[in-house]
Structure 1
């Protein structure tokens, strides 16, 4: 089962608490990346055929490919704080930060023990992200993003030392290919673009760069283009009083029905409702 994640903030980061069922539910995947912190209780966390015991302070790293699910101990149910975020944040900031999430599932250890030095380094940043998104104090979006980058930077330093030279070389090559493609997409997403033309421009095969892009970001190329267009539309909807149709076409959509459909699938609401939630329509009437 693949979950569709929507975000409650103008940047694609969510923080939420969750108590797993005491029986094993079907595992799931999602295009986004995730870090889970066990706040209390006990249980197990399953990743494919791997099983980890979970307790307070333990952290779990989730990428966009591996099927996973947590289960609570019936006598002492576990409670988690999850930070769920879109790979596009790291891709735009520093693509190398995606390396810890580009693991091959059979060999990777998703569990970070609560008593470890790495957990002591990471936990304050997990809590800081959640606090910023909860309190929404001035500058909270920048603070949450900064904390996420600090968190992923520490993950990178830890996991980088665990890779063989060949593994590191292969993963870095894939990330650099994805970065090159992403730079072009970010420059041109408002125009009609296709993967074949961009791959030719970069001197890469379509199949190779398409596979690398999906493995690294969790997105198909077309879905990533739509994501950038929706993010730009959200900024215009919340920061301007431009007509919705004008925003749709300026952001690269070729038809209004497509814009409305993709916007609703991505955000869980229509462009009109999103704009109203930001208070823009009321302001424009004054």
Structure 2
């Protein structure tokens, strides 16, 4: 998958970088860099993109990305405010720190992270604590968090294959334009020709871009965006299901029910009852 290359500067006296990302929204910015990255979502909901994998996220979501693995997070202002704790560290540095036999699980996880990994370990409090520390204590806390994730029995890869293909800023910009248009206009009737015209591409080029870069079709991706918006409305409001279907871009209730069940394995009514 193609992505723009991000350069990560390190502050004086620091071997690795840490920051808390806070924003009203997280725009889709397809990128990769030479560092490992550990991201823990502390506020907001949206979608996580890793290689050819796309999934919704919420507070407590944790993911580790290996060097040069394309990734991004995308979220709208309606589901914010948004916040994430982000640690980025060089391969040589973390491999030296974890070369002892006690860190076998961490080294295995680092190898797996070429595809991106996620788990369900309760790391939210630990991530927030990272923001309160500095220097050696912060580094020890990072190692503790990595160990917690490495020992999580639910640890699982994300992308289908390790992504180490060539980087293209032009492809990243085109993909960002398409995703941005879909995220903004998903509630409207959208055809492939409409989308192509809006981003200045041919219809066949848009389809090819989505298939090659995201591993999915334009229709499948748009449907998932609409289902995601409907899921949030079902759990966060008392609006009638038919109104939600229409507001999220579905032409009729039968089509909405069919596509929602295929994606969530529950009917909209069952989903609201379970998670609302």
> What is the TM-score normalised by the length of structure 2?
0.46
Which is bigger in relative contact order (C-alpha 8 A, separation at least 6)? 2
